[in-house]
Every structure is written in C-alpha cells, then in structure tokens.
Amino acid sequence: MSSAPTTLFSPIRIGDIDCANRIFMAPLTRCRATPGGDVPNALMAEYYAQRAGAGLIVSEGTQVLANGKGYMNTPGIYSAEQESGWRLVTNAVHQRGGRIVAQLWHVGAISHPDLQPDGAQPVTATEGFNPGGITRTPRGKVERGPARALSTDEVRSMVGAFRHAAEVARRAGFDGAEIHGANGYLIEQFLRDSSNQRSDAYGGSIDNRIRFALEVVDAVAEVFGASRTGIRLSPVTLANNAKPDSNAQATYGALVEALAARGIAYVHFIEGNTGGARDLTGFDFAWAKKRLGEAGVTYIANNRYDRILAMHTIAHGAADAIAFGVSFLANPDLPERLRRDAPLNPPRPKLFYAPGAEGYTDYPAL
Ligand code: 8OZ
C-alpha cells in the first residue's frame, strides 16, 4: 500500500486536535490587551482570525496570575473579563475553521515591581535571583532587580494558578493549552541549576528541578486532558539572560522522558537560541524527536525556519510541524504564501509591541 508523502501542507492530528496543515503560528507577545484588566479584545480577535489558516495557532503568552505579568498590556487568563475577551478570540478563529491553544505563562523574575500588584517584588525559584536587563513599565525604561523565592506552599499554589488558568481557557473555548516552559521565565527558572538553588522538593536533583514543570503539566492535563496539553521548551536558549544549565542534556532529557510517559499532545522546541543562531549544541533535539515519536507525542520545531528548511525538515521526519513567528506576524496568509512560494511581507519591528491596529491587523493577504 502506498500513501502520499508527508509535506508541510499535510494535515496532522495532535493528540485530539485536528490540524489542517503543519504550518503553525508560534506564540507572539503583541501587547494589545485592553489596559486596566489586561483583557483580550475585538482587535485581538480580528488579528487571530486573519491567521486562522495556520494548522494551529498558539496564542501569545497569557499570564496565569496578575503577578505573572512581565510587560505592559499582555493579556491575562485568570479573570471573568479575560475569559469573555478570549471567547471573542476563539469564536473568531473557529468561525474561520482554525484551531487555537492558549499559552499559559508566568514570567517569574522577569517582571518588575512596577508591573506587579501593589508594587510587590517578583517571585522566582531562588531568593535574590536577578536576571538583570532593562524592561519598560508605565514609568519608562527601568532595570530589573532581585526577585524573592516562592515558599514550598506557594509553589503548590502556583501549580493551582496554572490549573485555574487552564479552566478559564477551557471555558473560553480554546482547543487546548501550551505551558510556557521556555525563554527564561518561571518554569525555566525552576528547571535550570543556573537559576534554581532551592533545597526543598523543587530544587537540587534533576527530579526535583523538573517537578514544578511536571506538576503544572499534570494540573493542566487534568483540565484539558493530556491529549490537549502541550509544553514549550528551550533547552539551550540564552533568552532573558538565562544562563545554561550545567547539563542541559540530562535535565531536559529527564523532562522529555517524563513527558513521553505522560503521552501529552506535543512538545514545542525552540531549537538553539531564541530568535538567534540555530546553534543546537548542548541538547540532542533529534533524540527528543525520536523519543517523543515512540510515545506518540508530536514534536513541533521552531526558530528561524524558512520555507525550504521547513519543507526539508518535514519531508525528512525531523519534526512533525513547524511554528513560524515573525513571518506569521507579517503574513496573515502564510500557509497560502508558502504553498504558492509567494513573496512575504516584511515585518515592521517598531510596531511589534505598539498599541493599536497599525503593524498588527494591517499586514495584507495576497
Ligand atoms: C518577546 C517580548 C516579550 C515576551 C518569550 C513571551 O520570549 C516572550 C516574549 C518575547 O517567550
């Protein structure tokens, strides 16, 4: 029996989510939520609906708690108003035949007191951990400072916050949830020994450092089912000044084994340094693809893919789907353009995080 070869344009079923093609929209922070309650709105619904031709849309990072916020005007996913706002988004995407999962996010130490309820100190794995760097708050540009360690009880509450956010996402009509375990944010702060020096059950050994991530996975899977739960990982990124783990292969390898055992829908890998060179040194991504594949877990690849690299990667079975970030932002009809090998709109980076429709919903389709 012969079957058509798998291409970038072939449908794929990811857990229980049916996707029309393997050209996915990567999560992209755009800072267009309505200020005040960080509420998703009609403009955001239009933006996502324009991109419904993606096999799967991963929403921008959406904070699971007010203290999980690290940038101005990122949307939340914990309040009743936010649930209604997200309902606009999921309805608009579904009406166009698309699929969308919510990316559940807590920035941990990447926040700043100016962005916290009551000007509180941001929270993280280790007392005093300071990722450094400059961020923008309502006061302008400010330097990040040291965060405080979550107590063991607070870590358990944080797992509950992810569970609550998944419940909001499910009621809002999302097809599933992706846990943001990448790019130097809270979950990655727990994973790496460079940012986790805890001495309780959530620090020290690899089993302890991956515990928080796995408890979050299990909590989200209780809400959506494992077949609608994914996680994004960046084993070797330096994003947000993240320092490498002393043994990324061992740490992330143990996590991949545990995720394979759980049979979640997918793992979404940032290959190399986020938005930077595709230097894959430090983690064996091909091993992860093979190990997850044996367990029926989809491998989504991301980081600076273009049409040719994406087509070759799918044809060779090195990934099951490819997530495109900047090119999807600038091309609402990216799958159609890749199909036809049509030219792409150039992105306008100055408007990536600016308010309003300009540089957001005004990129033309073919
Ligand atoms: C760019 C700007 C703000 C946030 C990430 C959520 O790196 C982000 C992000 C990216 O994962």
3-class secondary structure, 76: strand
pLDDT digits (tens, 9 = 90+) for 294-309: 999 999 999 999 999 9
Is there a domain that residue 314 lies in? Answer: yes
Q: What residue owns the CA closest to ligand 1's atom 9?
A: 29
Measure 355 CA to ligand 1 centroid, in angstroms: 16
Active-site residue among 71, 185, 305, 363? 185
Q: How far apart are CA 148 and CA 129, in angstroms?
A: 7
**How many whole angstroms from its chain centre is CA 8?**
21
In the block, residue with structure tokens 């495109």: 324
pLDDT digits (tens, 9 = 90+) for 119-130: 999 999 999 999
Give percent above pLDDT 70 in the chain.
99
Residue 120 identity: A
* CATH assignment of the domain containing 262: 3.20.20.70
Is there a domain that residue 104 lies in? Answer: yes
Measure 304 CA to ligand 1 centroid, in angstroms: 15
Q: Is 71 in the pocket of ligand 1 (CB under 6 A)?
A: yes
3-class secondary structure, 297: coil
Q: What residue owns the CA closest to ligand 1's atom 2?
A: 29
Q: What residue owns the CA closest to ligand 1's atom 10?
A: 29
Q: In this predicted structure, what is the pLDDT of residue 2?
A: 57
Residues 6+ apart with CB under 8 A from 139: 114
Q: What residue owns the CA closest to ligand 1's atom 3?
A: 29
Measure 60 CA to ligand 1 centroid, in angstroms: 8
Q: Is 48 in the pocket of ligand 1 (CB under 6 A)?
A: no
Question: How would residue 3 be classed by pLDDT, with cut points 50, 70 and 90?
Answer: confident
Q: Is 61 in the pocket of ligand 1 (CB under 6 A)?
A: yes
φ/ψ of 119, rounded to 5, equals: 65, 25
Asked if 136 and 163 count as a contact pair (C-beta separation under 8 A), the reply is no
Give percent above pLDDT 90 in the chain.
99
Q: Is 241 in the pocket of ligand 1 (CB under 6 A)?
A: no
φ/ψ of 181, rounded to 5, equals: -110, 25
User: Measured between alpha carbons, how far apart are the two ends of the chain, in Å?
Assistant: 38
Is there a domain that residue 356 lies in? Answer: no
pLDDT digits (tens, 9 = 90+) for 314-340: 999 999 999 999 999 999 999 999 999
State which of 25, 183, 268, 350 you would mutate to test the pocket of ligand 1, scoring each by most atoms of that ligand within 8 A of its C-beta: 183
Q: What residue owns the CA closest to ligand 1's atom 5?
A: 183
Q: Is 183 in the pocket of ligand 1 (CB under 6 A)?
A: yes
Catalytic: 185? yes
Measure 347 CA to ligand 1 centroid, in angstroms: 16
pLDDT digits (tens, 9 = 90+) for 212-261: 999 999 999 999 999 999 999 999 999 999 999 999 999 999 999 999 99
Ligand 1 atom closest to residue 103's alpha carbon, by position in its atom list: 6
- Phi/psi zone of residue 12: left (φ > 0), alpha (ψ -120 to 50 degrees), beta? beta
Q: Looking at the chain, how many residues does it have?
A: 366
Q: Can you list the positions of beta strands (E) in the chain?
A: 12-14, 17-19, 23-25, 57-63, 100-105, 123-124, 134-137, 140-143, 148-149, 176-181, 229-233, 266-270, 298-302, 321-324
Residues 6+ apart with CB under 8 A from 34: 40, 41, 73, 85
Q: Is 110 in the pocket of ligand 1 (CB under 6 A)?
A: no
Would you tell me how many other CB atoms lie within 10 Å of the CB of residue 282?
A: 16
Q: Is 31 in the pocket of ligand 1 (CB under 6 A)?
A: no
pLDDT digits (tens, 9 = 90+) for 94-118: 999 999 999 999 999 999 999 999 9
Would you tell me how many other CB atoms lie within 10 Å of the CB of residue 47?
A: 21
3-class secondary structure, 280: coil
Is there a domain that residue 364 lies in? Answer: no
Asked if 229 and 177 count as a contact pair (C-beta separation under 8 A), the reply is yes
Domain interval for residue 104: 12-341
Q: What is the mean pLDDT of the chain?
A: 98
Number of domains in the chain: 1
Which residues does residue 270 pair with via DSSP β-bridges, in sequence order? 302
Residue 1 pLDDT more than 80?
A: no
Asked if 6 and 21 count as a contact pair (C-beta separation under 8 A), the reply is no
Is there a domain that residue 363 lies in? Answer: no
Question: How would residue 4 be classed by pLDDT, with cut points 50, 70 and 90?
Answer: confident
Q: In this predicted structure, what is the pLDDT of residue 277?
A: 86
Q: How buried is residue 179: exposed, middle or buried, by Cβ count under 10 Å (0-12/13-18/19+)?
A: buried
Asked if 322 and 302 count as a contact pair (C-beta separation under 8 A), the reply is yes
In the block, residue with structure tokens 């394979």: 260
For residues 47-76, give the mean pLDDT.
99
State which of 29, 31, 110, 231 you would mutate to test the pocket of ligand 1, scoring each by most atoms of that ligand within 8 A of its C-beta: 29
Q: What residue owns the CA closest to ligand 1's atom 1?
A: 29
Q: How far apart are CA 266 and CA 254, in angstroms?
A: 16
Is there a domain that residue 348 lies in? Answer: no
Is there a domain that residue 166 lies in? Answer: yes
